[in-house]
């Protein structure tokens, strides 16, 4: 099926369920952070029901799209994302970002759970992503360019919007959150990184490592969306930590420390 027809089918289905709800802000919630939506009321649609949308099979991802109002701002919230390591193409992983933009969202807030590489970080810290290194071995813009969406060769020098970074700092200060800043390095996963890899990533200038986000923000930049992204440091990476890494621990830390990030995201919605 032609990609334009796919977009049309997806958009028509969502609009039929939401009465043409037009979000101003799109939010992607990472592992264990669906608690953000706990007390929100709105229209929720399962990913599996949306044509061409894809599904997530990862524990800690609810796989529902919630349309609601927060502080009088219309929001579309992805409760979980699609990962490259699940066997999805990189285009499937980023398809929802294109749909959210076409629904009306001009702003994007992305969150993830990641491993800390910077030895000055602690488990439970929040890192605002100032830039990223994409080592996933793929790029979501490969293939025929969708001229209706963006340029073939988008500039990447301001992928994380400076204006929103400044607002994030102000929000963190208001909430008394010690907001770390740094470079996020994206890998394909699903295996965690080796000690040698983490050593190499540190030399490259990475402060945290994870298995998502870069594809989504490459696409949001391509689409002209204002973007801000946060990593919840749920573990210290191999060689930094003496403990073995496991996803259960990531989810547990996400549930314990995620409230702080949820508060920051909520405050960001108010000022965007």
- Confidence band (pLDDT; 50, 70, 90) for 33? confident
pLDDT bucket at 99, cuts 50 / 70 / 90: very high
> Beta-carbon neighbour count of residue 107 at 10 Å?
21
Upper half-sphere CA count for residue 128 (Cβ side, 13 Å): 26
Domain 3-271: which CATH class?
alpha beta
pLDDT, residue 59, reads: 56
**What percentage of the chain exceeds 70 in pLDDT?**
92
Q: What percentage of the chain exceeds 90 in pLDDT?
A: 79
DSSP 238: B
| C-alpha–C-alpha distance, residues 166 and 127, integer Å | 14
Say what the pLDDT of residue 172 is. Answer: 98
Q: What is the pLDDT of residues 186-245, one digit of tens each?
A: 999 999 999 999 999 999 999 999 999 999 999 999 999 999 999 999 888 877 766 676
pLDDT at 31 over 90: no
Question: In this predicted structure, what is the pLDDT of residue 254?
Answer: 66
Amino acid 57: pLDDT? 63
φ, ψ for residue 116 (rounded to 5)?
A: -80, 130
pLDDT for 251 equals 67
| pLDDT at residue 241 in the model | 65
In the beta sheet, which residues pair with residue 132?
A: 184
Residue 73's pLDDT band (cuts 50, 70, 90) = very high
* Domain locations in the chain as residue ranges: 3-271
What pLDDT score was predicted for residue 94? Answer: 96
Q: Write out pLDDT tens, residues 103-112.
A: 999 999 999 9
Catalytic residue annotation? 31, 61, 83, 85-86, 113, 211-212, 235, 247
Angstrom distance (rounded) from CA 97 to CA 94: 5
Listed residue (92, 73, 68, 71) closest to 81, CA to CA: 92
Residue 241: how many CB atoms within 10 A of its CB?
Answer: 14
C-alpha span between 207 and 183 (Å, rounded): 5
Q: Residue range 87-99: average pLDDT?
A: 95
- Answer yes or no: are the C-beta atoms of 151 and 100 closer than 8 Å: no
pLDDT attached to residue 178: 96
Query: How high is the pLDDT of residue 240?
Result: 75
Taking only the tens place, the pLDDT of each residue in 138-178 is 999 999 998 889 999 999 999 999 999 999 999 999 999 99
| pLDDT for 30 beyond 90 | no
- Are the beta carbons of 180 and 224 closer than 8 angstroms? no
266: left (phi over 0), alpha (psi -120 to 50) or beta: alpha
Q: Is the pLDDT of residue 124 over 80?
A: yes
pLDDT class for 34, splitting at 50, 70, 90?
A: confident
Tell which phi-psi region holds residue 270, choosing left (phi > 0), alpha (psi between -120 and 50) or beta: alpha
């Amino acid at each position: 099926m032609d990609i334009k027809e796919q977009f049309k089918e997806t958009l028509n289905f969502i609009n039929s369920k939401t009465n043409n709800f037009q979000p101003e802000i799109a939010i992607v919630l990472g592992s264990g952070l669906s608690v953000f939506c706990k007390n929100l009321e709105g229209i929720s649609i399962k990913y599996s029901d949306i044509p061409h949308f894809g599904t997530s099979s990862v524990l800690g991802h609810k796989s529902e799209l919630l349309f609601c109002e927060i502080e009088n701002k219309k929001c579309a919230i992805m409760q979980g994302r699609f990962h490259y390591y699940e066997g999805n193409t990189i285009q499937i992983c980023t398809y929802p970002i294109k749909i959210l933009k076409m629904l009306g969202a001009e702003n994007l807030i992305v969150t993830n759970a990641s491993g800390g590489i910077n030895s000055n970080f602690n488990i439970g810290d929040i890192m605002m992503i100032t830039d990223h290194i994409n080592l996933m071995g793929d790029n979501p813009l490969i293939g025929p360019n969708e001229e209706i969406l963006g340029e073939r060769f988008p500039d990447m020098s301001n992928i994380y919007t400076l204006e929103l970074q400044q607002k994030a700092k102000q929000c963190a200060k208001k909430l008394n959150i010690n907001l770390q800043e740094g470079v996020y390095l994206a890998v394909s996963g699903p295996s965690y990184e080796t000690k040698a890899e983490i050593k190499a990533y540190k030399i490259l200038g990475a402060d945290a490592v994870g298995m998502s986000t870069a594809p989504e923000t490459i696409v949001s930049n391509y689409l002209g969306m204002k973007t801000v992204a946060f990593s919840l440091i749920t573990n210290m990476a191999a060689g930094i930590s003496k403990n073995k890494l496991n996803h259960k621990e990531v989810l547990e830390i996400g549930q314990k420390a995620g409230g702080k990030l949820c508060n920051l995201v909520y405050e960001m919605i108010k000022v965007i």
